Amino acid sequence: MKKVINTIFLWASTLSSLLPITAYASGVVYDKALYQQVIKQTPQAVQLYKNLLSLPNDTHNQEDIKKLSSWLIHAFNQRGFESHTLDMSGSPLVYAERINPNAKKTVLVYLQADGQPVDPKAWQQPNPYQAVLKKQQNDGRWQVVPWSYLTQSMDPDLRIFARSAADSKGPIAQFLVALDLIQQQGPLNYNLKVIMDTEEEIGSPNLPAAIIRHKQKLKADMLLIFDGPPHYSNQPTVTLGARGIATVQLTTYGPYKPQHSGHYGNYAPNPALHLSQILGSMKSQDGRVLIPNFYEGSTISADLRELLSKVPDDEQQLKQKLGFSVHDKVGNTLQESIQFPSLNIRGLQSGWVEQQARTIVPDKAIAEIDIRLVKESNPQRLISLIRNHIESLGYYVIDRVPTHKERMAHPYIVTMKSKPVYGAFRSEPNSLAGKMAIQGLTKFYGERPIVLRSGGGSIPIAPIIDTLKIPAAIVPSVNADNNQHSPNENLRVGNFIEGIAIIASVLNQPL
């Protein structure tokens, strides 16, 4: 025991002398006592994190998810929670609650437990579920270093590589360690309920029904989501919304089979041309949707413009990195642009290209479209607008493959399939969730974090918020450049440590 304590002490004192007490990008940490506490706890935190990373969590593998769920239930039970899986279709949510009989408020926390599949050959380590510690070399390559580096030459730029290191076992490990830290100061004055999603990577198809079914159990005053990356500058961030998503597939038809373009060009109608004309009529060259009323309800007031301008985006640098010179003209800036619904062509297919190019009139053309929704968007309304627009161009629009009779009766046919996936959400900075998250980060860093009115991406949170009618805030605790979903996913050690402190500081706000 003594040896263990000595080791931890050595760890803590080594770290505090080597790790500069600075925020990962923004400035000086204000709550040094909390930071020191986290540093002391870091050896155990890394061990817990490595154990969690060693559990495969491919969302498609039920056996993996079962073992992972048992681990989570055990981890929460050990921390005074009552924990079990919730009865529902699909892969069940893991639920944990710690009730304080004197509490007046309840905080619901969302964590994501499942992960993307792995292709071990693409990883620069033997097993994506066996975490490795790496240091970046001068030539930019990442090289495996012994775990003892964390005690010897510890620097915050070391990274831990494994599947779900950032998305999203990092936040789970950080949350568990944060619970241990705040427990040392006595019980929280609110009830804490936690749901852990095991189907996030497939769009949480069973989550909305499960939330409705367990509405009473999940009753809370606010939702905190510890997931996702911060602003790309890696500065502390609170995100108060996310866009929703709906998908549309359009198919146009030519002859039944591809036909010789010499024999039938100028005679057989070309589906690629028709599809291009449809798509071209929907948007201007500079990216604005031309379908009337598509942006209805979304405006940028002077106040909102002022608020959005506080986000420190370096758009010149961003354009250099992304490789274009002029942005679409939906908003004046990146932040303004994501306050509107989008209509994005995400894939196109007709005939063959490059080496396979053939002299044919194709049989059909397909476009895949996604619509990112904002809170003001009604997905069914937007889908109807698209449908009406295509009809106004003279097309016969159906939701299935046309019959022979229909082909003979209608010169221009489009099959349109659509699906609202989930809605958008947005909470106010002065809502309970907004205040708890923003104050928690402000207290730890001594300055207000970047507050994003909405992230551009989509997370399956809207069903929870709509059913429970509570505000929500997303508190990212991992680095932005973490390779999530790709091979060689990682978490920066400095972010791992500060993420624990961020979560502890947020949870420590009395209610």
Residues within window 17-56 making contact with Zn ion, judged by CB under 5 A = none
The least distance separating Zn ion from the CB of residue 197, rounded to whole angstroms, comes to 10
Which residue in this structure is represented by tokens 């989550």? 207
Per-position x/- string for 180-199, each x denoting binding to Zn ion as judged by CB under 5 A, each - no binding: --------------------
Evaluate whether 164 touches 57 at the Cβ level (below 8 Å).
Answer: yes
CA distance 19 to 156: 7
Rounded (to 5) percent helix, strand, coil in the chain? 35, 20, 40
Q: Which is nearer to Zn ion, 434 or 476 (CB)?
A: 476
The least distance separating Zn ion from the CB of residue 114, rounded to whole angstroms, comes to 9
Residues within window 281-300 making contact with Zn ion, judged by CB under 5 A = none
CA distance 431 to 437: 10
Three-class DSSP category at 224:
strand
Three-class DSSP category at 339:
coil
Q: Which is nearer to Zn ion, 114 or 498 (CB)?
A: 114
The least distance separating Zn ion from the CB of residue 151, rounded to whole angstroms, comes to 31
The least distance separating Zn ion from the CB of residue 478, rounded to whole angstroms, comes to 11
Per-position x/- string for 334-373, each x denoting binding to Zn ion as judged by CB under 5 A, each - no binding: ----------------------------------------
Q: With CB under 5 A as the contact rule, which of the stretches 165-173, 186-194, 293-301, 348-356 interacts with Zn ion?
A: 165-173
The least distance separating Zn ion from the CB of residue 60, rounded to whole angstroms, comes to 14
Residues within window 391-430 making contact with Zn ion, judged by CB under 5 A = none
The least distance separating Zn ion from the CB of residue 485, rounded to whole angstroms, comes to 6
Using DSSP bridges, classify how beta strands 472-474 and 360-361 pair: parallel, antiparallel or unpaired: unpaired
Evaluate whether 69 touches 198 at the Cβ level (below 8 Å).
Answer: yes
The DSSP code for 311 is: S
Per-position x/- string for 114-153, each x denoting binding to Zn ion as judged by CB under 5 A, each - no binding: ----------------------------------------
Q: With CB under 5 A as the contact rule, which of the stretches 12-20, 163-171, 274-282, 500-508 interacts with Zn ion?
A: 163-171
- How many residues of this chain interact with Zn ion, rule: CB under 5 A? 1
Q: Does 167 bind Zn ion (CB under 5 A)?
A: yes
Give residue 207's region: left, alpha or beta (phi > 0; psi -120 to 50): alpha
Tokens of 25: 């990008």
> Please, what's the largest Cα pairwise distance for the chain?
88
Evaluate whether 261 touches 361 at the Cβ level (below 8 Å).
Answer: yes
Q: Which is nearer to Zn ion, 58 or 167 (CB)?
A: 167
Q: Who contacts 312 (Cβ-Cβ below 8 Å, separation ≥6)?
A: 231, 233, 235, 450
Q: Who contacts 493 (Cβ-Cβ below 8 Å, separation ≥6)?
A: 133, 150, 154, 155, 156, 157, 158, 159, 160
Q: With CB under 5 A as the contact rule, which of the stretches 53-61, 162-170, 269-277, 373-381 interacts with Zn ion?
A: 162-170
Q: Which is nearer to Zn ion, 97 or 167 (CB)?
A: 167
CA distance 204 to 339: 24
Q: Which is nearer to Zn ion, 167 or 221 (CB)?
A: 167
The least distance separating Zn ion from the CB of residue 326, rounded to whole angstroms, comes to 31
Using DSSP bridges, classify how beta strands 106-112 and 191-197 pair: parallel, antiparallel or unpaired: parallel
The least distance separating Zn ion from the CB of residue 359, rounded to whole angstroms, comes to 43
The least distance separating Zn ion from the CB of residue 415, rounded to whole angstroms, comes to 31
Helices (H), 446-492: 462-468
Q: Which is nearer to Zn ion, 458 or 505 (CB)?
A: 458
The least distance separating Zn ion from the CB of residue 389, rounded to whole angstroms, comes to 33
Beta strands in 434-489 (DSSP E): 450-452, 472-474
CA distance 451 to 392: 42
Q: Which is nearer to Zn ion, 167 or 197 (CB)?
A: 167
Half-sphere exposure of 490 (CA within 13 A, CB side): 21
Q: Which residue is nearest to Zn ion (CB)?
A: 167
Q: Which is nearer to Zn ion, 64 or 167 (CB)?
A: 167
Binding site for Zn ion (CB under 5 A): 167
